[in-house]
Structure 1
Amino acid sequence: MYNEKLEALITAALADGVLTDKEKNLLFKKAEAMGIDLDEFELVLNGRLAKRKKEMEAQATKKNGAIPQELDDLIKEYLSDGIISPKERQVLLNKAQALGLNLDEVDLYIDAQQQKADQAVASAMNKRRGKTCPYCGSSIPELTDKCPNCGGNITPEASKELEEIIEYLENALVSFKSGEDVDKSKAEIERYVRKARMYYGNNPKIQRLVEEVEEESEAAEAAAKKKSLWVNIKNVTSVVVPVVLLLLLLGICFYFSPDSERKRKEEKQEEMLKKLQDAKEQTQSLGNKVLEMINNGDLNGAKNELSIYSIPDAFDSYDIVREFDGMYLALIKAYIERGNFDEAEDVGISFKLKICNDYQWKESSCYQKLKKEFKKKGRDFSALKVGD
């Protein structure tokens, strides 16, 4: 229906069956620059997204096998309140095991149904209310991109990050109150708390949530220590007195030993460093492969390698930009040297969608190179711009 370049961008954006606000805005800018009617374009885009979701569901069903009706009905019943608790999930997995199903496949299916329920709730809430500033929590006009109260720029990335922080802290709070996961990574929780206070500290909801998480964390940790100590004492009461006293003394010393705590921290740090090192080695291998393909003139092959590569979880957002900026820049330069500015622009858009937030994109070498070359040629740069 549209030209080859726009069709390729639409296909890339819909590949995962989800159209984010960031992807949608970029596609609309591109369509508008091409003189396409935006109302018609939105209808086409929604239709293709629905079609892609059905294709993915069909593929998942074909791959994983059909879920028995009785199990599917039970999943829907548990989702009636909008969430499947850890206890309900375990009941479902026990049921699946009794039916002779693959537990990993059923677990993935449960996650998919939970995601659908979450999206439905989010969609309903968005229809009922206007936008809310993620930084201070005040209401803002629907078409405003800057909060009139605190002056913060309202971006999809900020709202998404706030939702992630709230979800993680709320889950941690439930775990602390239930006592089911007291040993949950304290460092991870502290990281989210620091980020919440640094960027969204004026938001009333964040303030209350952080305070409650910290209070419940301390209470849960103290309760766990008392419980563990009582179990140790009870287990040794059947032994003769000298042995009881010795074991109790050793247990207390070991429990409060700085060396033991330090060893656990060192092991956790080593594990994180190992994951990061593995991720860097994988990325280095990809970089060598991409540069070799560029040197051999296979630019489209290099572009495909970058598009299908999955970003390792061990990287934080700034690591990702540092690791991939050079690869994408080399490919952009190669396309520009050939005079193929359309492909160079597509590579830049792919880099922005997959790797960067707006701030990182504006500071990246890829953005600076494209901006410079497009100005030289007098080309339209609107599809690659970010808000100031």
Structure 2
Amino acid sequence: MFSEELESVIEAALADGTLTAKEREVLHKRAAAEGVDPDELDVVIEGRLAKMKREEDWLRPAPPSDKFGDVKKCPRCGEPVEPMAVKCSACGYEFRGVEALKSSQQLADKLDEIAKSYRDKKGNSFQQHDDQIYSMREQARVIKSFPVPTTKEDLLDFAITMQSKWKSSTGLERGTGVKTAYKAKYEECVNKAQLLFPNDPMFQGVFEQHQADKKNMSTQKKVLVVCVLVLLFSLFMYILMK
């Protein structure tokens, strides 16, 4: 429907299932540059958000109370503050001096619940091995669907955690899609940070590490291609000499 570049920006903005005022402003500017009607863009965005909400509602943790510490209204604009919010949805003001459960910990808790549900099952060693595989596949689905945070500190922590989990994935995690899920979520975090905080010094290390990761992966792919070509050439020469 839209250009590849605009679709990429829309995907990054909606990766966490929400759209802030700043993100909408960025999308409108990009759409205007391409001659896209902003009303048409809003219709498409709202439709995608509604679809994502239906798919991801079950992943969103229920708030433990109906207030955030001692804050009930935003000190800047006076709008009501949603439970567990770390930023005002109306004006973007970030609350300080209050505690909120980090997204990385929320995800870890969900994955622990899945792993525990399978560990509690009884069966022989073969069944336990199968259960472990099923558990990791389910964890991979949860990782892929988990919303990326939008507040600065939480996004930074989440990006670093996803990069670390991706790099430290075990053999079984690689075979069940967990490693791929962590990598995809790490990419989402970087895209979100580039959209919201492109020039923020806090994220420069993340951006530099991301570029280094891409360079290393490109080098590994080139080495693999060379090895395959050498192997095929050796096999071809062997057949000719027989």
Q: Which has the higher helix share?
A: 1
Larger Rg: 1
Which category of TM-score, normalised to the shorter sequence, fits these structures?
0.3 to 0.5
Q: Which structure ranks higher in relative contact order (CA pairs < 8 Å, sequence separation ≥ 6)?
A: 2
The TM-score normalised by the length of structure 2 is 0.35
TM-score, length of structure 1 as denominator length: 0.23
